[in-house]
């Protein structure tokens, strides 16, 4: 059995990296010579050239190196520790889908699950292990031989062997002694290595363990053949100072990983403290999903190391796509203010901020949104200014003169003052009214009926698409889902399946705006097609009708815009046309 070791994967990636770097060695050498020749050069004294940075935010915010490593390896435990989040349960297909995304992003180790959990869990691990990923695929294993056997049966490359480290866990949880735990750990490591497994030993609750005993336990594991040990702040109880102390002692023994939780809000700070103390690998989960307050967020670790310390981890341009996929399969909503992937991370409403950002993208952003696979978004509301409104209209291909722009801005602010989210549809409708234009709709909802009784919710719609009417039905997980599937079916006039409709539902949000059993709800949707996107909202006492109306209105606006050539779209092809 050929085991893909984490060190081998890292070496291969570094070799490629340095091969690319060597192509530019001559140019870099010339720059270095020039700096050496001129002591006043900002490069010569260790500073950055602040007048001509080589990339948008090349100047590192922290001049002190966090680590001597050029690459920090990431172990993703979304499929194991992340799945322990209450309410999250992944199917084998879900696990494989996420594992593919993790591997495509360059994650070094994927903990695919815990083989001791169930047969369904083992099937999920097997699928990931059989996929032939570049990443090292592992299974969580408790301190018993049966867990290692189950992991072997799944065909993984290695195990994350968890043994009790604090006296609370040694004595109270497993009813053992320090000496017995050390002896058992040695036996299990030797057993796993005899079966050609990569082994990481994790001292559970290590942040609250007696440090001398933790050193003895982890040292015994390394002496028995373990590839690395892991500092575990299992309940997120430690601060950066304690983390640095423990990680430093473990790193003196051998390769050390960091496993931190965010119960005190110290998850990322503890990672940085541990890396500075000598650790070289970080455990994390996408979106920080996990028990209680969650694990440290993998995407935040990656972007912080990239931007502040120039340390490589994964392909950061794939982070947003990865976060979106994990959100979809886990059902965990992404908070709007979440770093990297939140809806507001690159959104600007304030007139001052919008104007500054339009002049210079770095004015109010720490890094360009494209860095993590995103786009900048200008949001309209009571804080909007002329520059932001003009830019939004230009993005929709609408020309206005100065007087029209002034009136549009006034109405946008008035709408925002009433506490209403100003969507793209609102902006375009306001502009049409100011300019005295009447818009010809391309897609319009004529009728909708939906039922949720029984085991299979169904819906039927009648749409007017251009000059013709189309009727279709759909089924779904609920009446709203069924209604949206019916819309897709109606737009697919060739009957070639819903994939023919090339648009993406980027976000769906519901707000109750009145109380009582007859409450009116507002549904807001963001749809995209190619590199075009539009936001629309609709209100109704019936959530299904509000959802379908918002969806159809958004599709109608997208059909006006057309779609730039790109993935999933044909240039300037109306939604629902025969070419879709």
Rounded-to-integer distance, Cα 133 and Cα 335, Å = 31
Q: What is the pLDDT of residue 77?
A: 98
Q: What is the pLDDT of residue 172?
A: 94
> Which letter does DSSP use for residue 516 in this model?
S
Please determine, for residue 500, whether its predicted confidence score (pLDDT) is greater than 90: no
Alpha helices (H) in 438-542, listed in sequence order: 479-491
Q: What is the pLDDT of residue 495?
A: 46
Please determine, for residue 17, whether its predicted confidence score (pLDDT) is greater than 60: no
Rounded-to-integer distance, Cα 326 and Cα 289, Å = 9
Residue 192 binned pLDDT confidence (cut-offs 50, 70, 90): very high
Q: What is the pLDDT of residue 153?
A: 97
Mean local confidence (pLDDT), 53-62: 50
Give 483-496 pLDDT, tens digit per residue: 988 988 888 754 44
DSSP notation for 414-457: HHHHTT--B-HHHHHHHHHHHTT--PPPSEEEEEEEEE--SSS-
Q: Are strands 443-451 and 458-465 parallel, antiparallel or unpaired?
A: antiparallel
Q: What is the pLDDT of residue 513?
A: 56
Mean local confidence (pLDDT), 353-370: 75
Q: What is the pLDDT of residue 190?
A: 98
* CB-CB contact of 38 with 31 (8 Å): no
Task: Kindly state the percentage of the chain with pLDDT values over 70.
Answer: 78
Which residues lie below 8 Å from residue 175, measured CB to CB, with a gap of 6+? none
77: closest CA among 136, 122, 18? 136
> Which letter does DSSP use for residue 168 in this model?
I
Rounded-to-integer distance, Cα 292 and Cα 261, Å = 9
What mean pLDDT, rounded, does the chain reach?
Answer: 82
Three-class HEC string of 70-90: CECEEEECCCCCHHHCCCCCC
Q: What is the pLDDT of residue 355?
A: 59
Q: What is the pLDDT of residue 42?
A: 34
Q: How far is C-alpha 157 from the chain's CA centre?
A: 25
Q: What is the pLDDT of residue 426?
A: 77
Please determine, for residue 100, whether its predicted confidence score (pLDDT) is greater than 50: yes
Residue 349 binned pLDDT confidence (cut-offs 50, 70, 90): low
Please determine, for residue 19, whether its predicted confidence score (pLDDT) is greater than 70: no
Please determine, for residue 559, whether its predicted confidence score (pLDDT) is greater than 60: yes
Residue 517 binned pLDDT confidence (cut-offs 50, 70, 90): low
* CB-CB contact of 111 with 82 (8 Å): no
Give 214-253 pLDDT, tens digit per residue: 999 999 999 999 999 999 999 999 999 999 999 999 999 9
Rounded-to-integer distance, Cα 249 and Cα 256, Å = 10
Query: Using CA of residue 267, residue 273, residue 276, residue 279, what is the dihedral sign?
Result: negative
Instruction: Find where tokens 């819906």 sit.
Output: 459
Backbone angles phi, psi at 66, to 5 degrees: -75, -35
Please determine, for residue 570, whether its predicted confidence score (pLDDT) is greater than 50: no
Task: Kindly state the percentage of the chain with pLDDT values over 90.
Answer: 51
Q: How far is C-alpha 376 from the chain's CA centre?
A: 16
> Which letter does DSSP use for residue 200 in this model?
E
């Amino acid at each position: 059995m050929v085991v893909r070791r984490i060190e081998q994967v890292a070496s291969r990636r570094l070799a490629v990296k340095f091969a690319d770097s060597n192509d530019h060695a001559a140019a870099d050498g010339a720059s270095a010579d020039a700096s050496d020749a001129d002591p006043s050069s900002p490069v010569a004294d260790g500073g950055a050239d602040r007048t001509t940075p080589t990339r948008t935010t090349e100047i590192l915010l922290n001049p002190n190196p966090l680590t001597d490593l050029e690459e920090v390896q990431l172990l993703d435990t979304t499929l194991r520790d992340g799945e322990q989040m209450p309410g999250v349960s992944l199917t084998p297909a879900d696990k494989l889908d996420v594992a593919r995304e993790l591997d495509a992003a360059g994650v070094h180790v994927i903990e695919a699950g815990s083989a001791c959990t169930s047969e369904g869990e083992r099937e999920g691990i097997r699928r990931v292990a059989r996929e032939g990923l570049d990443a090292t695929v592992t299974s969580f294993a408790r301190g018993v031989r049966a867990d290692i056997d189950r992991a072997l049966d799944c065909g993984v490359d290695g195990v994350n062997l968890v043994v009790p480290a604090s006296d609370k866990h040694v004595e109270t949880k497993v009813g053992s002694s320090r000496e017995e735990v050390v002896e058992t750990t040695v036996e299990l490591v030797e057993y796993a290595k005899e079966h050609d497994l990569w082994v990481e030993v994790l001292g559970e609750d290590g942040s609250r363990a007696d440090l001398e005993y933790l050193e003895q336990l982890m040292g015994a594991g390394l002496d028995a053949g373990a590839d690395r040990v892991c500092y575990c702040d299992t309940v997120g109880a430690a601060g950066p100072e304690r983390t640095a102390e423990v990680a430093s002692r473990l790193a003196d023994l051998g390769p050390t990983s960091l496993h931190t939780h965010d119960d005190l809000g110290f998850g990322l700070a503890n990672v940085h403290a541990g890396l500075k103390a000598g650790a070289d690998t970080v455990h994390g989960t996408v979106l920080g999903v996990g028990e209680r307050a969650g694990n440290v967020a993998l995407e935040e670790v990656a972007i912080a190391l990239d931007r502040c310390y120039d340390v490589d981890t994964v392909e950061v341009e794939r982070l947003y796509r990865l976060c979106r996929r994990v959100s979809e399969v886990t059902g965990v909503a992404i908070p709007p203010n979440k770093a990297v992937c939140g809806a507001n991370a690159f959104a600007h409403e304030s007139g001052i901020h919008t104007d500054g950002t339009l002049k210079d993208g770095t004015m109010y952003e720490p890094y360009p949104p494209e860095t993590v696979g995103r786009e900048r978004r200008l949001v309209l509301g009571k804080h909007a200014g002329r520059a932001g409104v003009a830019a939004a209209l230009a993005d929709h291909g609408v020309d206005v003169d100065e007087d029209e722009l002034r009136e549009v801005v006034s109405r946008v602010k008035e709408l925002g003052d009433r506490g209403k989210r100003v969507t793209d549809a609102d902006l375009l409708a306001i502009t049409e009214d100011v300019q005295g234009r009447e818009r010809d709709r391309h897609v319009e909802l004529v009728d909708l009926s939906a039922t949720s009784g029984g085991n299979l919710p169904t819906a039927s719609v009648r749409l007017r698409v251009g000059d013709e009417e189309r009727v279709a039905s759909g089924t779904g997980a609920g009446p709203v889902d069924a209604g949206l599937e019916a819309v897709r079916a109606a737009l697919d006039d060739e009957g070639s399946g819903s994939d023919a409709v090339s648009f993406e539902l980027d976000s769906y949000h519901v707000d109750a705006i009145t109380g009582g059993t007859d409450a009116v709800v507002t549904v807001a949707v963001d749809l995209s097609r190619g590199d075009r996107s539009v936001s629309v909202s609709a209100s109704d006492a019936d959530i299904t009708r509000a959802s379908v109306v918002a969806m159809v209105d958004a599709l109608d606006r997208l059909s006006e815009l057309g779609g730039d050539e790109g993935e999933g779209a044909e240039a300037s092809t109306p939604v629902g046309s025969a070419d879709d």
